[in-house]
């Protein structure tokens, strides 16, 4: 148990963490537990911070999704990472509702950044497909992008 388990000490720790970056409620609760703060005090302070809009799972979700999109991740990976941080589908869905064409374009952009050349054989195709799947793109997006780049490579003189 932390020596100073007062609301003020827990609040100060939360403010320090939130000053660095947005956190989900679950992340903050876990970090406070690691530092041995009392759970009841932590929950009370987290409720206060949420009421004051200093802690917001919605804001965290928006920022997290934006960062992951910029880094070239797909919807499957982003959704899984959000779930690990205690963010359910109800908060994630609106942020990830980009449409099939947009996700396919993002999948192609991730492919171009990493490879840039169509797979020459089955082994290379598998390598590229695994990379895109690990980045969080659906099997449909991966298959379509690799088929599209293979087809355009075949048409190049």
Domain ranges of the chain: 7-55, 58-96, 100-154
Gap between the Cα atoms of 61 and 92, Å rounded: 7
Tell me which of 2.40.128, 1.20.120, 1.10.1760, 1.10.10 is the CATH number of domain 100-154.
Answer: 1.10.10
Output the CA–CA distances (angstroms, integers) from residue 26 to 38, 40, 107, 135, 139, in the order listed. Answer: 15, 14, 30, 24, 30
Cα of 56 vs its chain's centroid, Å: 16
Q: For helices 39-51 and 7-20, what crossing angle results, to 10°? A: 60
Q: What confidence tens digit (pLDDT) does each residue in 9-51 have?
A: 999 999 999 999 999 999 999 999 999 999 999 999 999 999 9
At 24, list the tokens. Answer: 């989900």
Please give the structure tokens belonging to residue 85: 């941080």
Choosing among 3.90.226, 3.30.70, 1.10.10, 1.20.120, the CATH entry for 7-55 is: 1.10.10
pLDDT digits 0-9 by tens, 65-116: 999 999 999 999 999 999 999 998 888 899 899 888 999 999 999 999 999 8
User: Which residues, at least 6 apart from 133, have a Cβ–Cβ distance to it below 8 Å?
Assistant: 139, 142
């Amino acid at each position: 148990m932390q020596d100073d388990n007062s609301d003020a000490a827990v609040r100060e720790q939360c403010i320090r963490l939130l000053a660095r970056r947005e956190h989900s409620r679950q992340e903050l609760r876990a970090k406070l537990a690691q530092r041995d703060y009392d759970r009841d005090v932590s929950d009370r302070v987290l409720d206060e911070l949420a009421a004051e809009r200093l802690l917001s799972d919605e804001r965290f979700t928006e920022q997290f999704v934006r960062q992951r999109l910029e880094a070239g991740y797909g919807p499957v990976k982003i959704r899984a990472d959000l779930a690990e941080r205690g963010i359910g589908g109800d908060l994630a869905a609106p942020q990830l509702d980009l449409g099939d064409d947009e996700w396919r374009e993002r999948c192609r952009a991730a492919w171009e950044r990493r490879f840039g050349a169509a797979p020459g054989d089955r082994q290379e195709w598998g390598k590229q497909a695994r990379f895109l799947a690990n980045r969080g793109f659906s099997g449909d997006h991966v298959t379509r992008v690799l088929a599209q780049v293979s087809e355009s490579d075949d048409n190049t003189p």
